[in-house]
Structure 1
Amino acid sequence: MLTIENLQAGYGETPVLFDIGFAIGTGEVVTLLGRNGMGKTTTIRALMGLVRPTGGTLVFDGRALTGLPSYRIAQLGLGLVPEGRQVFPTLTVRENLVATAAARFGERWTLDRVYAFFPRLAERRGHLGSQLSGGEQQMLAIGRALMTNPKLLILDEATEGLAPLIRAEIWACLKRLRGEGQAILLVDKHLDAMTKLADRHVVLEKGHVVWSGSSAALAADPTVRQRWLQV
């Protein structure tokens, strides 16, 4: 579904990514791992057209993404749940959900289905985005991305700043999505939860891919955590 080869990108004259490469198959869950500042968010921003790559290739469903504006990339089937949630604060829950809704690839996700998936959003459908708790905002950000009916769902810091009970709820929702065959690219700091959910992991270090493999391979090699993931 997604192939990234030798991706290079940065900000101004400051390079951040040097040779990022990995792939995601249909229905796969893949994580980007690494300490803060290693290039995970920049990789996502380059993929979504928010940062212009300076080299390499990005191909999604046979279509080159490099040079396309962000809205065209989204229309091809990539749904982003950004770091910090970024819900529309002055729109209601319902308005947030329908603002970018699309049924390009079959209307799997509708307003009613998102409400059923996140009952808390149904209860607060008339509340403004600014009136929601952090956990509710994250549910709304996920629901908003699902309303685009994406082929690939991308979550940057999926459970950042959330209370343990809300984190568990988000992980349960992602597990359900995986069970339905939703392809997911995931960034988060909670490694144990990700290893239970994901098929494969890609470890970044200073803009390079330094390791990739399955959850079983990651568990069997403690040096990966010690060398590249522990603070």
Structure 2
Amino acid sequence: MPALLQIQGLQAGYGASRVLHGIDLTVGDGRIVTLLGKNGMGKTTTLKSVIGLQPKQSGSVQFGGRDITRMAAFEAARLGLGWVPEGRQVFPTLTVQENLVATAANRHGAAEPFTLQRVYDFFPRLAERAGNLGNQLSGGEQQMLAIGRALMTNPRLLILDEATEGLAPLVRDQIWRVLGTLRATGMAMLVVDKNLGALLDLADQHVVLEKGRVVWQGDGAALQADRATVQGHLGI
């Protein structure tokens, strides 16, 4: 399967402190890859480096056959990277509906583009709260909104950092169902989360980071067979 996202030798950090030490990672078209590891191992830095929010010290990032290594985040987003950041970062003084339409686009001619109604079908609570401001929503509602906002850009690759972190069980279950539905449509994803059971059901490939290096990778069957080793890296 062709590589939609190809990361090679990625090194990045903050000031004089290097966080990533040569990350290699591939996401095939229509595939779902998880990025696993304890806190502080470089998962968020990897995602931010991919989308252009964190400068790269060396290495390369290719997306859809184009070199995006030095590309600004807004340029990468226009190529089809959908970003659901840790902490949601919804626009606090815009309504739910305004949040959803603020960056909406269909630049790549999706046959069934995401519309307000389609996002509301996924997350009925957002339809109920359409006129409420972003800062009036619960954490779970803000996460639904952050996912919906990314989907409204009709991305080729959806990147989620801590997809269900800190959410109530019912909200987590709803988000996993939505991601499962997106998988069935062929949406490619790169996902960070701590819910290993849900990720095993969702993803095609798993990559474990430790101290900014890839220390294990494999499919679901390999993870199940080597679960004790993987859980040792995750501290579970």
| Residue number among 82, 85, 91 corresponding to 2:85 in the alignment | 82
Match of 2:34 in 1: 31
State the secondary structure of the residue aligned to 1:162.
Answer: coil
Question: Take 1:154 and 1:41, find their aligned partners in 2: how far apart are those partners?
Answer: 11
Per-residue deviation, residues 113-156 of structure 1 (Å, max 9, x unmatched): 11122111111100001111111111100000000000000000
Deviations 1:26-66 (A, max 9, x none): 11010000000000000000001111111111000111111
Structure 1, residues 174-206: CA drift from partner, whole Å, max 9, x if none? Answer: 000001100000000111110111000000000
> Unaligned 5+ residue runs, structure 2?
none
1:207 CA displacement? 0.4
Question: Counterpart of 1:116 in structure 2: which amino acid?
Answer: D
SS at match of 1:54: strand
Within a 5 Å distance, the mapping from 1:63-102 to structure 2 comes to 63-102=66-105
Give the corresponding residue for 2:62. 59
Equivalent in the alignment of 2:116: 111
Q: How far off its partner does 1:106 sit?
A: 2.1
Where does structure 1 differ by over 2 angstroms across 4 or more consecutive aligned residues? 222-227
1:227 is matched with 232
Letter in 2 for 1:118: F
Partner of 2:138: 133
Matches within 5 A, 1:197-216: 197-216=202-221
Aligned residue-pair number: 231
Paired residue for 2:185? 180
Task: Give the partner amino acid of 1:181.
Answer: G
Could you tell me which amino acid in structure 2 is paired with residue 4 of structure 1? I
Structure 2 residue 22 is the aligned partner of structure 1 residue 16? no
In structure 2, C-alpha distance between the alignment counterparts of 1:158 and 1:54, rounded to whole Å: 27
**1:96 aligned partner, one-letter code:** N
Q: Distance in 2 between matches of 1:206 and 1:2?
A: 22
How far apart are the structure 2 equivalents of 1:92 and 1:163? Answer: 23
| Alignment check: 8 A CA contact 2:208 2:230 kept | no
Amino acid of the structure 1 residue aligned with 2:57: T
Q: How far apart are 1:74 and its partner, in Å? A: 0.2
Q: Helix, strand or coil: the match of 2:26?
A: strand
Superposition TM-score, scaled by structure 1 size = 0.98
Percent of matched pairs sharing the same residue: 63
Q: Is the 8 A contact 2:216 2:230 kept in 1?
A: no
Tell me, in whole angstroms, the C-alpha distance in 2 between the residues paired with 1:71 and 1:138. Answer: 21
CA shift, 1:105, in A, is 1.4
Q: Unaligned 5+ residue runs, structure 1?
A: none
Amino acid at match of 1:98: V
Give the TM-score, by structure 2 length: 0.96
CA deviation after TM superposition for structure 1 residue 227, in Å: 2.7
Which residue in the other structure is 1:123 paired with?
A: 128
- Residue 67 of structure 1: how far off its partner (Å): 1.1
State the alpha-carbon separation in 1 of the partners of residues 156 and 107 from structure 2. 10
